[in-house]
Structure 1
Amino acid sequence: MGDSDWRPFIYGGLASIVAEFGTFPIDTTKTRLQIQGQKIDPRHVELRYTGMVDCFVKTSQQEGIKALYCGIWPAVLRQATYGTIKFGTYYSLKSWIAANRADGGSIEHLPTNTFCAAFAGGLSSAIANPTDVLKVRMQVGDEKRGLVRCFGEIYRLEGVRGLWRGVGATSQRAGVIAAVELPAYDACKKRLTPALGDSPLNHFASSLIASLGSAVASTPLDVIRTRLMNQRKLKGQVVKSTEKIYKGTIDCFLQTVRNEGFLALYKGFVPTWLRMGPWNIIFFLTYEQLKILY
């Protein structure tokens, strides 16, 4: 940070966009699995899909392959902001702290890395929240308009708050993912370097291990933030006594567990992990190669 090195920000944004394109259909199935079966939302009470493969096949057959990439542009826009800020802040901040620590220790210091990752994840996710809302709405299939028109419609009907719906759960989820994923990747990479060297095989194995931990830790918050983002509350609208909505993260958590059981918090876990694995592999391989190129 002290030498104003912007390369981690640029590499993080570019690698995030590449990874997003490669894994987006899996993310679409995850989102659709997470919003189904809600007792309080009449639009999504029905259990339409039995799992990831069934969701993938039915969506392709009923709506076309293109539907699996519905929401890709807000997702790319999200990664251009979220990925750039998250990875750039993490790598720059931990380098700066390591350089200024009194003990002059190694840059790979677990408590420092965990703090930097959680801070970077939460901050970047909060800033990029409107793009996440757009992505979720388009993935569910309710929004057929383009990116700009969808953004305008949400702002017109729901106001600024509509674009930051679910920001609490989103930031918490991103903080948890980053706090587990980034230090785990760095620790695994360091541990495997004597045997594998700083090689693509090392980057592959480290990113796969880091993905499992982050998927287990983050899926409940991912379910909650997806449901919060997908619900609509129009400006000036008085909620009817017969109409139920989630009031926030805790209320969504309690109602989901009460109405659907604890395992409902892990709806979409398989596609979450199967997406995180390839996503991280593509990201870290791309990121490491960009470091070598420049």
Structure 2
Amino acid sequence: MGDSDWRPFIYGGLASIVAEFGTFPIDTTKTRLQIQGQKIDPRHVQLRYTGMVDCFVKTSQQEGVKALYCGIWPAVLRQATYGTIKFGTYYSLKKALAKHRADGGSKEHLPTNTFCAAFAGGLSSAIANPTDVLKVRMQVGDEKRNLVRCFVEIQRLEGWRGLWRGVGPTSQRAAVIAAVELPAYDACKKRLTPALGDSPLNHLASSALASLGSAVASTPLDVVRTRLMNQRKVKDHIAKPNERIYKGTVDCFLQTVRNEGFLALYKGFVPTWLRMGPWNIIFFITYEQLKQMY
């Protein structure tokens, strides 16, 4: 990468956007599966879908194929910020810290990589949280306005806090994903290089292996943050006796387990995993090709 520290940021943002376009319909099914069956939210008590395929088919039939891409523009905006900051910060910070180690950065150092990844993931996700809120609400199907109007309406009715709803579990989830995914990818890539070289096949295999662990570790936090982001808390609104909302991350976690069972925390796991695999494959292959081109 030379001394051009801007390149990881640009490559990370571009590769993230490409990967988002390629896997967004899977993310829509994941979001809809995660919000259904909530006992405290009358809008989503009903179990409308039995699984990822059923959700995909019903959404396409009832709302049109276009509905699977509802929320794509806030998602692209999110990746333009989140992806740029996350991957740029990770590789730049990792490189900077490597210079101070005894080996000069010649070997992959798991503790350093994990710290850099978790820091980069949590920071970038917190900054990009408003775009995540817009994306979730559009994917659920309740929000039909365009990106700008949706943003203005949330800010007007719920205040700035509404745009950062769920920022805690969102940042924690991003830190967990990054802490597992990025070091695992770098380790797998280095381990496979003698056999496969620095080739697209190596990038594909490494990214696929890195996806499973991050999906298992992050899905419970993903369910919590999706539910927090989807609930509305209008400013100065006095709650009705039968109206309840989650008070925060812990409350949402406990209420979900109490009302729906522990496995509810893994709602949408299959599309989460199936999305992470292709997303990472598209991302890392694009990222690596950009590195080789420039």
TM-score by length of 1: 0.98
Q: CA deviation at 1:268?
A: 0.2
Q: CA deviation at 1:5?
A: 1.3
Alpha-carbon distance in 1 for matches of 2:2, 2:105? 17
CA RMSD of aligned residues (A): 1.3
Alpha-carbon distance in 2 for matches of 1:264, 1:87? 31
Residues 126 and 107 of structure 1: is their aligned pair in 2 closer, same or farther, counting only changes over 3 Å?
farther
Alpha-carbon distance in 1 for matches of 2:105, 2:28? 43
Equivalent position amino acid for 2:145 in 1: R
Instruction: Give 1:250's aligned residue.
Output: 250
Alpha-carbon distance in 2 for matches of 1:163, 1:273? 27
Alpha-carbon distance in 2 for matches of 1:90, 1:107? 16
Alpha-carbon distance in 2 for matches of 1:72, 1:175? 23
Alpha-carbon distance in 2 for matches of 1:245, 1:111? 38
Structure 2 unaligned residues grouped into runs of 5+: none
Alpha-carbon distance in 1 for matches of 2:80, 2:205? 26
Q: CA deviation at 1:235?
A: 0.6
Instruction: Give 1:226's aligned residue.
Output: 226
DSSP 3-state at the match of 2:49: coil
Structure 1 unaligned residues grouped into runs of 5+: none
Instruction: Give 1:155's aligned residue.
Output: 155
Q: CA deviation at 1:242?
A: 2.2
Instruction: Give 2:42's aligned residue.
Output: 42
Report the identity percentage: 90
Q: Is the 8 A contact 1:220 1:265 kept in 2?
A: yes
Post-superposition Cα deviations, 1:97-149, rounded to whole Å, max 9, x if no partner, equal 00122453435110000000000000000000000000000000000110001
Instruction: Give 1:261's aligned residue.
Output: 261
Residues 135 and 258 of structure 1: is their aligned pair in 2 closer, same or farther, counting only changes over 3 Å?
same
Residues 191 and 252 of structure 1: is their aligned pair in 2 closer, same or farther, counting only changes over 3 Å?
same
Instruction: Give 1:109's aligned residue.
Output: 109
Alpha-carbon distance in 1 for matches of 2:170, 2:107? 28
1:63 aligns with 2:63: yes
Residues 204 and 2 of structure 1: is their aligned pair in 2 closer, same or farther, counting only changes over 3 Å?
closer
Equivalent position amino acid for 1:38 in 2: Q
Q: How many residues align structurally? A: 294
Q: Is the 8 A contact 1:129 1:167 kept in 2?
A: yes
Instruction: Give 2:89's aligned residue.
Output: 89
Instruction: Give 2:130's aligned residue.
Output: 130
Alpha-carbon distance in 2 for matches of 1:105, 1:282? 27
Alpha-carbon distance in 2 for matches of 1:113, 1:218? 18
Post-superposition Cα deviations, 1:70-106, rounded to whole Å, max 9, x if no partner, equal 0000000000000000000000000000012245343
TM-score by length of 2: 0.98
1:11 aligns with 2:11: yes
DSSP 3-state at the match of 1:245: coil
Residues 164 and 107 of structure 1: is their aligned pair in 2 closer, same or farther, counting only changes over 3 Å?
farther
Instruction: Give 1:145's aligned residue.
Output: 145
Instruction: Give 1:51's aligned residue.
Output: 51
Instruction: Give 1:31's aligned residue.
Output: 31
Q: Which runs of 4+ in 1 moved over 3 A?
A: 1-4
Alpha-carbon distance in 1 for matches of 2:277, 2:144? 29
Alpha-carbon distance in 2 for matches of 1:261, 1:29? 21
DSSP 3-state at the match of 1:100: coil
Q: Is the 8 A contact 2:36 2:46 kept in 1?
A: yes
Q: Is the 8 A contact 2:95 2:105 kept in 1?
A: no
Equivalent position amino acid for 1:96 in 2: A
Instruction: Give 1:190's aligned residue.
Output: 190
DSSP 3-state at the match of 1:244: coil
Q: CA deviation at 1:4?
A: 5.4
Q: Is the 8 A contact 1:94 1:107 kept in 2?
A: no
DSSP 3-state at the match of 1:145: coil
Alpha-carbon distance in 2 for matches of 1:100, 1:4? 19
Alpha-carbon distance in 2 for matches of 1:58, 1:29? 10
Q: Is the 8 A contact 1:173 1:222 kept in 2?
A: yes
